């Protein structure tokens, strides 16, 4: 979606389950408005947070005019058979995008195209490389051809439906996914307690939540070094995003089993109304 919109709205890491929310990205030109909806990757849920992530993905099928089904050359197609069967039954156009083709051979890619053609026979298949911007313009043109005419849903200067604090949370969480290993980054959630925008600086205080005391120790690191590194990386990206100097304070707090607690998931915006 970042390539299609032209702005970095969705965080990117090599780890699975990077996206947790449904994120709207809006492209406005004098001739049209296109609303993209980036959803979490589809998987079999193991806890309540993942159930809600899957609900975001399913909800997108209800109001889409075109579905971009994004896979890649290393992903296995059986991550969630139930979701795939729903896609097979859709009446709306499906564009199957096979990403990361720079990581495979032509022969392997041809095998993959045939496999997906058998699984989604009505889909249009496009090998792409989001990293290298390969075939992205072709996808944009095809989307415009397929979209029905309708009044714009958002204001002409809108870029997304999310508030500024949301992107602060996501940038901090992205750096956690990059810095920490195993279960730790998946146990992390971020809350912005203070977002104060002044003339020349934005002052932000954020809490990093983890599920166990051992995770808190890992996130902070020896003499606070890991947390300091996380803060430095996050601050630089937040400054790029807002084009303004940022003062960032980070704290770590244990909130046991938050990924399975309905009230916590609702507070973090994961519960669909």
Contact, 241 vs 166, CB < 8 A? no
Bridge-based pairing state of the strands 94-99 and 67-72: parallel
Global pTM value: 0.80
Report for 2-16, 71-85, 96-110: range of highest mean pLDDT: 96-110
pLDDT at 269: 85
Residue length of the chain: 273
| Mean pLDDT in residue range 27-56 | 86
Which pLDDT tens digit goes with each residue over 94-110?
Answer: 999 999 999 999 999 99
Q: pLDDT confidence of 78, banded at 50, 70, 90?
A: low
Q: pLDDT confidence of 272, banded at 50, 70, 90?
A: low
Q: What are the residue ranges spanned by the domains of the chain?
A: 2-146, 164-267
Domain 164-267 has CATH 3.30.390.30: no
pLDDT at 143: 96
Percent of the chain with pLDDT over 70: 95
Q: Which three-class secondary structure state does DSSP give residue 253?
A: strand
CATH class of 2-146: alpha beta
pLDDT at 161: 87
pLDDT at 228: 97
**What is the C-alpha separation between 69 and 85, in angstroms, rounded?**
13
Percent of the chain with pLDDT over 90: 62
Q: pLDDT confidence of 200, banded at 50, 70, 90?
A: very high
Contact, 164 vs 242, CB < 8 A? yes
């Amino acid at each position: 979606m970042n390539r299609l919109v032209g702005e970095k709205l969705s965080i990117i890491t090599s780890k699975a389950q990077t996206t947790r929310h449904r994120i709207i990205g809006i492209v406005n030109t004098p001739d049209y408005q296109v609303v993209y909806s980036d959803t979490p990757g589809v998987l079999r849920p193991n806890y309540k947070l993942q159930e809600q992530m899957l609900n975001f993905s399913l909800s997108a099928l209800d109001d889409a005019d075109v579905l971009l089904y994004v896979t890649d050359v290393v992903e296995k197609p059986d991550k969630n058979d139930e979701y795939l069967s729903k896609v097979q039954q859709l009446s709306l156009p499906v564009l199957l995008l096979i990403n990361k083709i720079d990581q495979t051979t032509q022969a392997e890619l041809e095998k993959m195209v045939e496999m997906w053609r058998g699984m989604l026979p009505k889909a249009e298949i496009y090998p792409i490389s989001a990293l290298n911007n390969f075939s992205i313009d072709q996808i944009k043109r095809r989307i415009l051809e397929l979209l029905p005419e309708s009044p714009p849903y958002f204001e002409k200067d809108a870029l997304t439906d999310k508030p500024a604090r949301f992107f602060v949370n996501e940038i901090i969480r992205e750096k956690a996914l990059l810095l920490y290993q195993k279960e730790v980054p998946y146990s992390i959630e971020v809350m912005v307690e203070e977002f104060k925008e002044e003339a020349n600086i934005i002052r932000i205080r954020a809490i990093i939540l983890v599920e166990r005391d051992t995770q808190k120790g890992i996130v902070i690191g020896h003499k606070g070094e890991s947390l300091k590194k996380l803060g430095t990386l996050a601050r630089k990206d937040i400054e790029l995003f807002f084009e303004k100097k940022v003062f960032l304070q980070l704290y770590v707090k244990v909130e046991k089993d938050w990924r399975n607690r309905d009230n916590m998931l609702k507070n973090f915006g994961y519960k669909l109304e």
